[in-house]
Amino acid sequence: MEISDRISVIMDDIVTQRVDAIVNAANNSLLGGGGVDGAIHQAAGPELLEECRKLGGCPTGEAKITRGYNLPAKWVIHTVGPVWKGGMCDEDRMLYRAYRSSLELARQYQIRSIAFPGISIGAYGFPIERAADIAVRSVWDFLTEVNTINEVILVCYNQRAFNIYSDALKNVINNIALDQKRSNGSSK
Ligand code: AR6
């Protein structure tokens, strides 16, 4: 299966996704919040917060896993993206790591399908085009290394985000096609 067939961008509500795991854009406390975090806790029910309390928080760029309770997804992977502070505080690398840490945990739990929201692009203020590019690259890089995860869905909450994440995915696919063309050309 081509990597491009294992990643998709959709416009939807993440809590309704029928996948093995959904990812939560949480904060360091893991004790809930607004945005997608609030929506996931509301849909999963109070047991999710009870389990989160036992986790002792989560550093930025890392991830922790809980059950999904009332969600269609069996698991919730809670990751913490960076707060945007202008770009000089390691934000790009932290965002890349948030996606990667989530996928590493997914692999450990034999998760085959996983849905991500746009981490850090809401309350945390990360510029959306830049965040979309990092999200797609992080997922793409991971899927080149690991073949047990066969469905990664980037779930966008509105049309603008959908357009930007779709373009980011197209760009990565085009760049890879170009690189392959170049390396085929140079091997002749
Ligand atoms: N499904 C999919 N995407 C959603 C949903 C949903 N149900 N609800 C919101 N979004 P944010 P952050 C989109 O602010 O920037 C929380 O309070 C939303 O439109 O949820 O990582 C945490 O506790 C936006 O595009 O996450 C942290 O304190 C994207 O999800 C803080 O916010 C992310 O927005 C984390 O901020």
Per-residue pLDDT of the chain (188 residues; tens, 9 = 90+): 899 999 999 999 999 999 999 999 999 999 999 999 999 999 999 999 999 999 999 999 999 999 999 999 999 999 999 999 999 999 999 999 999 999 999 999 999 999 999 999 999 999 999 999 999 999 999 999 999 999 999 999 999 999 999 999 999 999 987 888 898 886 55
Among candidate residues 141, 138, 143, the one with its CA nearest the CA of residue 119 = 138
pTM above 0.85, yes or no: yes
Q: How far is the CA of 181 from the centre of ligand 1 (A)?
A: 38
CA distances from 157 to 36, 160, 187 (A): 9, 9, 44
Each domain of the chain, given as residue ranges in start order, spans 3-186
How many helices (H) does the chain have, and how many strands (E)? Answer: 5, 6
Contact 176, 24 (CB under 8 A): no
- CATH no. of 3-186: 3.40.220.10
Q: How far is the CA of 103 from the centre of ligand 1 (A)?
A: 19
